[in-house]
Amino acid sequence: MSEAGQAIGAVEVNGLVLEARGPLVKDVSFDLARGESLGIVGESGSGKSLTLRAILGLLPAGVTQTSGSITAAGRVSMVFQDPLTALDPLTPVGKQVAEASRFARHTGRGPAMAHALELFRQVRLPDPETKLRQYPHQLSGGQRQRVVIAMALATDPDILLCDEPTTALDVTVQQQILTLLESLRRDLGLSMIFVSHDLAVVKQVCSRLLVMRSGEIVERGDIAAVISNPQHEYTRTLLDAVLPLPRLGSAGGAL
């Protein structure tokens, strides 16, 4: 779905209001340029995940968009937080990814499975041929998340939404997944919106930042600028809450 004048991969959100029994997201507006990676940070209840879901068009039951508009030029795909619940435990992972591919490309089973294999290679799953037939519980957490990413890529998306994709992962695995996401974004020219409660994680993969609290955007800007010079007091609270970790090789100095 691309509007005249809007480049493929761009997202425009205008005055978005989401409500359930009360307002959850209040008048949120932002743009995503093609090929850009935007981070949204906030704590629980900030509305960051709901905003992503609104872009995808997959709001949970009871939540409705009562105002505002969202235009996303191109295909939108999402990487979810918990690979355990994002994957069907009773279906082999190769088949799950192939299903997504078939749906998007309208191909038969054979080409779809070949595409799944290609995607498994792209997300750097070790021993991809064997993995195609395995079930989620046979994979490690990091491998499962790679499968979820492969599934998201199966629809040839232009825009990739990531909802806390590394929160449930160990720190070394997180590092690998973040590196993978960043390289995929570059290689495939994707636009990315990355939601997290962890500012440091967002800093690894995003160049621009939105800070959300209680359904509103309280600060936005270039990520390095916001971190070094926060304007809003909530941003400062979030930054202060990040505990210092001495640099490797330094003389015990804190951040």
Partner 1 sequence: MSSIEVRDAHVTFGATTAVAGVSLMVPSGGSVGIVGESGSGKTTLAKAIVGQQALTSGAILLDGVELASRRTTEQRRAIQMVYQDPYSSLNPRMTVRQTLSELLLAHKIVPRGGVAQRSAELLEMVRLDADALDAFPHQFSGGQRQRIAIARALSVEPLVLVADEPTSALDVSVQATVIELLARLKRELGLTLVFISHDLAVVNAVCDTVAVMNRGELVEVAPTSTFFTSPKDPYSCALLEAVPRLDSESPTP
Is residue 137 involved in binding partner 1 (CB under 8 A)? Answer: no
> Of 96 and 191, which CB lies nearer to partner 1 in the complex structure?
191
Is residue 248 involved in binding partner 1 (CB under 8 A)? Answer: yes
> Of 73 and 201, which CB lies nearer to partner 1 in the complex structure?
201
Exactly one of 201, 210, 211, 212 binds partner 1 (CB under 8 A); that residue is 201
**Kind of pairing between the strands at 64-72 and 11-19:** antiparallel
- Output the smallest distance, CB 178 to partner 1, in A: 7
> What DSSP string runs through 62-116?
T-EEEEEEEEE-S-EEEE-S-HHHHS-TTS-HHHHHHHHHHHHH---HHHHHHHH
| Range 33-47 burial, b when 16+ CB lie within 10 A, else e | ebbbbbbbbbeeebb
Nearest to 72 by CA among 40, 25, 105, 30: 30
Q: Site residues for partner 1, window 39-58 (CB under 8 A)?
A: 43-44
Exactly one of 65, 134, 204, 214 binds partner 1 (CB under 8 A); that residue is 204
Which of 72-80, 81-89, 90-98, 201-209 is the region at the interface with partner 1 (rule: CB under 8 A)? 201-209
Q: How many residues does the chain have?
A: 255
Is residue 35 involved in binding partner 1 (CB under 8 A)? Answer: yes
> Of 60 and 249, which CB lies nearer to partner 1 in the complex structure?
249
Exactly one of 10, 86, 152, 238 binds partner 1 (CB under 8 A); that residue is 238
Sheet holding 37-41, edge to edge: 76-79, 159-163, 191-196, 37-41, 208-213, 216-222
Nearest to 158 by CA among 185, 121, 177: 185
Is residue 252 involved in binding partner 1 (CB under 8 A)? Answer: yes
Exactly one of 1, 4, 61, 241 binds partner 1 (CB under 8 A); that residue is 241
> Of 122 and 166, which CB lies nearer to partner 1 in the complex structure?
166
Exactly one of 197, 214, 216, 221 binds partner 1 (CB under 8 A); that residue is 197
